[in-house]
Structure 1
Amino acid sequence: MPQKIHSKSPYAREAAELLGRMIRTARLERNMTAGELAERAGVSRPLLNRAEKGDMGVALGTMFELASILGIPLFEPDPEKLTMRLDAERRAGALLRKRAYVTSQKHVDDDF
């Protein structure tokens, strides 16, 4: 069965490209070869090349791992602040409902 192709928004594509370029720049600044970074991250060199180009098909976890290895801060530069922010989001999430419901468009006949 052919896969559905979902178009990505320009913002998402640009964000992925930016992260890929940041990964490549940080790797080169640290004088790491693509092979060294790929081995350290546990990915293939072709996958690393795709990540550095901002390919939207690369798993988000892989992108985050590459950024983490290279010391690229994504949300908070301080790991303690990241942990505190994550805890705050978890507490806020605990107060939200567990799922969203689609409201029924049916007309209820309640005339008895």
Structure 2
Amino acid sequence: MLGKLIRVGRTQRGLTAQDLADRAGISRTTLSSIEKGAPGPEIGIVFEVASIVGIRLFDYDERMVQMHNARLDEKLTLLPRSVRNAVKEVDDDF
């Protein structure tokens, strides 16, 4: 769906595929993959292309964002600061 939105945004802006690819700093083939919805392109590149054609990725209400952020802060205070792999005790009893 995002690929289709990007293609629509590109055509509405009057950009050729090559123009958009050049502007995003990617190849025409990569842009084609993005527009087809292929899983290969990196998400950052897809977001960059979407931004160039004017697609809003995160439509939010400021109050909801603040509330969600507060909940995440609460969860983070309950979790350990770091995660380490458990050290296996060596069984050297022959």
Q: How does 1:89-100 map to 2 (within 5 A)?
A: 91=73, 94-98=76-80
What residue identity is the alignment partner of 1:22? L
Unaligned runs of 5+ in 1: 1-17, 102-112
User: 1:105 aligns to what?
Assistant: none
The normalised TM-score by structure 1 is 0.59
Cα displacement (A) at 1:63: 0.7
Cα displacement (A) at 1:36: 0.9
Superposed CA offset, 1:15-69 (max 9, x none) = xxx0000000000000001111101111000000000000011111111001111
Cα displacement (A) at 1:76: 1.4
User: 1:68 aligns to what?
Assistant: 51
Unaligned runs of 5+ in 2: 85-94
CA distance in 1, matches of 2:60, 2:54: 9
Q: How does 1:8-27 map to 2 (within 5 A)?
A: 18-27=1-10
CA spacing shift, 1:71–1:55, aligned 2, 3 Å:
same
CA spacing shift, 1:95–1:47, aligned 2, 3 Å:
same
What residue identity is the alignment partner of 1:53? K
**How many residues are paired up?**
81
Q: How does 1:7-86 map to 2 (within 5 A)?
A: 18-76=1-59, 81=62, 85=65
CA distance in 1, matches of 2:25, 2:75: 32
> Alignment partner of 2:47: what SS?
helix
The normalised TM-score by structure 2 is 0.69
CA distance in 2, matches of 1:46, 1:77: 32
CA distance in 1, matches of 2:18, 2:74: 41
CA distance in 1, matches of 2:32, 2:20: 11
